[in-house]
Structure 1
Amino acid sequence: MSATGPAPTDGAATHALRRARAVVGWPARSLVRLWRVSLQARVVLGTVAVGAVVLSLTAWLLLAQINQNLVDRKVDTSIAEARAGLADAQFQLDAAPEPTTGAGGLLQPLVEGLAGDTGSPRAYELVLAGPLSAAESSAGIGRASASLSDESVPEVLRTQVSDSSSGPYWTFTTIEFTGDADPRPDVAGVVVGDKLQVPGTNEEYALYYLFPLDDQQSALADVRRAVLTASAVLMALLGGIAWLVARQVVTPVRFARRIAERLAAGRLEERMHVRGDDDIARLGRSFNQMATSLQRQIRQLEELSRLQQRFVSDVSHELRTPLTTVRMAADVLHDARGQLDGATSRSAELLQGELDRFEALLAELLEISRFDAGAAQLELTDVDLVEVAERQLATQGLRAAQAGITMRLRVHTRPALTEADPRRIERIVRNLVSNAVAHSGSDRIELLVDADDEAAAIAVRDHGVGLRIGESALVFNRFWRADPARARTGGGTGLGLAIATEDAQLHGGWLQAWGEPGHGTQFRLTLPRRAGDDLRRSPLPLVPDDLAGVVGQPYRRLPVPPPDSPEPATGEAESSRGLR
């Protein structure tokens, strides 16, 4: 029990410490967040901070100057009053008869008389010390208040008065009171002292006037409170003014931001409300002019796009009827080509081939028009990319073998399932493989398949002519052709990769290309495992592992083993590294 007893206490203390940190840190975090997200808050807080520094310095200088003036004035009046009192005391001593009972009997009534002239409460205290020639000269023999401490007169001033005759002398001190009879607190003050000559005895005494500075301290406290109150009011006014000024500037900016967000969302008719002729108003008018110009250009582009889509759709549909008629006539000629002469038979074969190509072009144009019209729909089911790749190897393997091309499938993850439209995925992969067979000029083609928890990917890699710099972005444009690859057995329509890109985007996937002249190309299709998920990475590299260090790529060239060397055991796993 003793070993486990402190645990709840430690846990409670830790919990309390965390709560205290959370309570203390919440205002700081809120202030930092407000500073980061609000321009108006930054202006107000910055203005208040600068104003606080300026007002603090001004208040400090003002209070220091007032304090110095009050003290200097008190010192001057104290010296003047003490000088007059000392002269009066010396006059009374000179006019008094020679004492018969000693100087004490003459001086004590003198001190009491001088102190009685100050009224109540007393404007000053008196201390009489002497005779100065005696050993006990430092002790006071007379004082206005019995509770006044001898320590109220500094030793430095006592020595100065005793050793010099050109007084009076003064210094600052702390007037102290002792005993329970006088509850007055200690107070700062000014002490002024000089010698008194007792006639007939030639004895010298020191008379000290102690002037308290409590009135000056009270006045300075009142001034300090007034300055602090005025500073607080000024800070509030400064913050309010800064808030109003910043609001006049920030409000149109915030309104412009909201209008810009609405414009970006497609609400092109939104405009700013403009009032006045100042800089903000001119900014609003310029913003509205820009929005109007953008709206006009976007409307024009939309209209041109609609006209283009309508033209393609109308032409494609209108061509179907005459194309069907021409196809029927061409089929008759093609079937009867054995009965025709050589030139006519060859013409029938050429006509049949061109009609096949024309029908393919027309079908692709119709498919493009459906994409442009937003009418393309997905029929989702589970698709295994490994099976898709195997079917393409089976269907196009003979054509590749006739062209002297070796095809190989490398699977890293089986099965590589994804939720997709099987018809469209088959069309994408078929287009990539047929392009590699027909136009790459490569003697070997590889299909790579891999998958992880979030995505599945298939890549088609060839080792042919490759792509020049910048062509990897152009290859998906409509009707774009890479000239070096089109001068072989025939050309496509130029729409296959454009349709493949639309199919990939319809699934929320990526279709990307990489190529280097003389090093071949690689096309990679990446699809989310679940329809609607966002892609963040691909399980296959876009740049092939064996060429990750070619010129123009930010990778070190890796050593390539000779063709007859065995593949490393980790070769399949290593192929997933590289650019994602």
Structure 2
Amino acid sequence: MTAVSVAAASYFLVRRATLERVTAAAIRESRLNLEEVAERLPPSATTSDIEAFSERLTLRGGFEIVILDGAGSSTTTSFSLSASAVPAAMDAPVTAGRVVSNRTTVAGDPYLVVGGRVLPDERRWYFFFPLTDVVADLALVRNVLAGVGTVLLVLSALVGAVAARSLLRPIRRTRDAVHRVESGQLETRLPEQGRDELADLARSFNRMAETLEATVGDLQTLESDHLRFVADVSHELRTPLTALTTAADVLEANTEGLNEPGRRAARLLVVESRRLGALVEDLMEISRLDAGAASISWDPVDLATATAAALDRRGWRDQVAADLPGGITTYVDRRRLDTILVNLIGNALEHGRPPVGVSVASTSDRVSVAVSDAGEGIAVEHLAHVFDRFYKADPARPRSAGSGLGLAIARENARLHGGDVTVATGEGPGVTFTLVLPRRTHSPDSAADDGSPGVANPLHG
């Protein structure tokens, strides 16, 4: 009985400590959310403002929100939650301005609810943190302790106490193994010792890990074959496409003797051959980046001068509002910088709406070029995919003149420099792509030769 008591006590201690930790973390995050509400959401905010603001808060993940106003109306970020989900016991203290927590169940799902209010605003904010994973973990601990505690009934109190403390070790080992596999260490295995349930679990885990490792290996091989195929096909197409483009250019220059249908066909041939040629060049470029075969020729470049040159070469100067202060210099590959700028500005001109703007800025350790437009913006669900290759937010959208690789190539070239390209869109129209690069005072090649760091890169540690 001592062993059972120790096992039960261990479970309740773990349960209490876990719930206290989860509650403390939820209250801390809720206080931060309420501080942000106080700073950014005025009491006069409209319902649409409140809905948009609460949706932005929940983008951090881990909770949903129910907002009650003084008239009893509610706003929620989840279809499964409503005003009735708020525990009645929380209403009085939250109305009085206190931050309190309570646990509840909605449609069978457990939640930790933290409520608070930003005085003098009458709105009460309730943050619902799901406890499903916590309850599942506690159930696992409870079941393991119960099973092992039964076996330990025959042992002495001292052995039972020591065993109770050690029961969590296999679970922690299993948990750590799962986390390692989750992080990509697919070779992780658990020791298969004994014939009990934990040993069976270890054997099942190892079989799963072996299958997963083999599957991922097959997928990596398939991806490698795919990249090699794309590179080979692009290379083979390059020569005939060059000849086709040359012939199309000659045909375009000698259309006087053609009738109107012939001239239209000639123009179509020229446009499509050039588009296909650009696609092949983009495929070869992305293949080189994927293969790690891209090289950089470092030169000191004034970003304002480089941006203005890119606009002038393509005749975009009159279509773009440029804010290009001089003196912002860093070491980059000129060709690759031009590729990034052309892709970002061309994307704004093609898919956005005027005015399109480009601006150059800097801090002590980084430089940036921002390209913005006043188009419809990008929906939140598509933001994570804008740099995917050949991605279309709307599959029904007509084919554009681009290859579908421009933004992916821009980001890969930026990362090749130790920087990145980011995208941001607000509540209003428009979207902004920002190229961010380390501000280098000399070439990284010379830094590698003399052992000096060359730059403090905040983007990549």
TM-score normalised by the chain length of structure 1? 0.45
Tell me which of 452, 467, 491 is aligned to 2:401: 491
Q: 1:510 to 1:338 in 2, by over 3 A?
A: same
1:478-557 alignment, distance < 5 Å? 478-482=389-393, 490-516=400-426, 519-530=429-440, 533-535=456-458
Q: 1:335 to 1:449 in 2, by over 3 A?
A: closer
Q: Secondary structure at the match of 2:312?
A: helix
2:367·2:436 contact (CA, 8 Å) conserved in 1?
A: yes
Q: Secondary structure at the match of 1:494?
A: coil
Partner of 1:446: 357
Q: Secondary structure at the match of 1:467?
A: coil
Tell me which of 470, 474, 486 is aligned to 2:385: 474
2:373·2:432 contact (CA, 8 Å) conserved in 1?
A: yes
Q: 1:249 to 1:377 in 2, by over 3 A?
A: same
Q: What is the CA distance between 1:309 and its match in structure 2?
A: 0.8
Partner of 2:46: none
Tell me which of 415, 428, 435 is aligned to 2:347: 435
Structure-2 separation of matches of 1:249 and 1:435? 55
The count of aligned residue pairs is: 295
Q: What is the CA distance between 1:400 and its match in structure 2?
A: 5.4
Structure-2 separation of matches of 1:386 and 1:399? 15
Q: What is the CA distance between 1:265 and its match in structure 2?
A: 5.9
Deviates more, 1:379-388 or 1:428-437: 379-388
Q: What is the CA distance between 1:365 and its match in structure 2?
A: 0.6
1:270-285 alignment, distance < 5 Å? 270-285=188-203
Q: What is the CA distance between 1:326 and its match in structure 2?
A: 2.5
Q: Secondary structure at the match of 1:381?
A: strand
Partner of 1:299: 217
| 1:369 paired to 2:287 | yes
Q: Secondary structure at the match of 2:323?
A: strand
Partner of 2:207: 289
Amino acid aligned to 2:344: L
Partner of 1:408: 322
Structure-1 separation of matches of 2:351 and 2:178? 50
Q: 1:525 to 1:243 in 2, by over 3 A?
A: farther
Q: 1:301 to 1:272 in 2, by over 3 A?
A: same
2:311·2:317 contact (CA, 8 Å) conserved in 1?
A: no
TM-score normalised by the chain length of structure 2? 0.55
Q: 1:305 to 1:450 in 2, by over 3 A?
A: same
Deviates more, 1:527-536 or 1:311-320: 527-536
Q: What is the CA distance between 1:280 and its match in structure 2?
A: 3.0
Deviations 1:96-132 (A, max 9, x none): xxxxxxxxxxxxxxxxxxxxxxxxxxxxxxxxxxxxx
Partner of 1:250: 169
Structure-1 separation of matches of 2:418 and 2:244? 40
Structure-1 separation of matches of 2:253 and 2:359? 42
Amino acid aligned to 2:390: F
Amino acid aligned to 2:382: E
Structure-1 separation of matches of 2:411 and 2:247? 36
1:383·1:419 contact (CA, 8 Å) conserved in 2?
A: yes
Tell me which of 368, 371, 380 is aligned to 1:460: 371
Q: Secondary structure at the match of 2:308?
A: helix
Give the share of equivalent positions with the same residue, in percent: 37
Structure-1 separation of matches of 2:248 and 2:283? 22
Q: Extract unaligned runs of 5+ from structure 2.
A: 1-9, 14-155, 445-454
1:475·1:497 contact (CA, 8 Å) conserved in 2?
A: yes
| Structure with the larger RCO, 1 or 2 (CA within 8 Å, 6+ apart) | 2
Q: 1:382 to 1:258 in 2, by over 3 A?
A: farther
Deviations 1:341-375 (A, max 9, x none): 33223322221111111100000011111122222
Q: Secondary structure at the match of 2:402?
A: coil
Q: What is the CA distance between 1:536 and its match in structure 2?
A: 5.4
1:301-340 alignment, distance < 5 Å? 301-340=219-258
**What RMSD, in angstroms, separates the aligned Cα atoms of the two structures?**
3.5
1:327·1:355 contact (CA, 8 Å) conserved in 2?
A: yes
Amino acid aligned to 1:337: T
Partner of 2:277: 359
Q: What is the CA distance between 1:478 and its match in structure 2?
A: 0.8
Q: 1:460 to 1:328 in 2, by over 3 A?
A: closer
Q: What is the CA distance between 1:302 and its match in structure 2?
A: 0.7
Q: 1:332 to 1:393 in 2, by over 3 A?
A: closer
Q: Secondary structure at the match of 1:366?
A: helix
Structure-2 separation of matches of 1:449 and 1:338? 46
1:441·1:485 contact (CA, 8 Å) conserved in 2?
A: no
Q: 1:485 to 1:272 in 2, by over 3 A?
A: closer
Partner of 1:417: 329
Structure-2 separation of matches of 1:400 and 1:384? 18
Q: 1:498 to 1:339 in 2, by over 3 A?
A: same
Q: What is the CA distance between 1:529 and its match in structure 2?
A: 2.2
Q: Secondary structure at the match of 2:425?
A: strand
Q: 1:407 to 1:289 in 2, by over 3 A?
A: same
2:242·2:277 contact (CA, 8 Å) conserved in 1?
A: no
Amino acid aligned to 1:441: R
Structure-2 separation of matches of 1:493 and 1:247? 59
1:440·1:462 contact (CA, 8 Å) conserved in 2?
A: yes
Q: Extract unaligned runs of 5+ from structure 1.
A: 1-42, 47-236, 538-580
Amino acid aligned to 2:323: L
Q: 1:462 to 1:342 in 2, by over 3 A?
A: same
Q: 1:312 to 1:406 in 2, by over 3 A?
A: closer
Q: 1:420 to 1:355 in 2, by over 3 A?
A: same
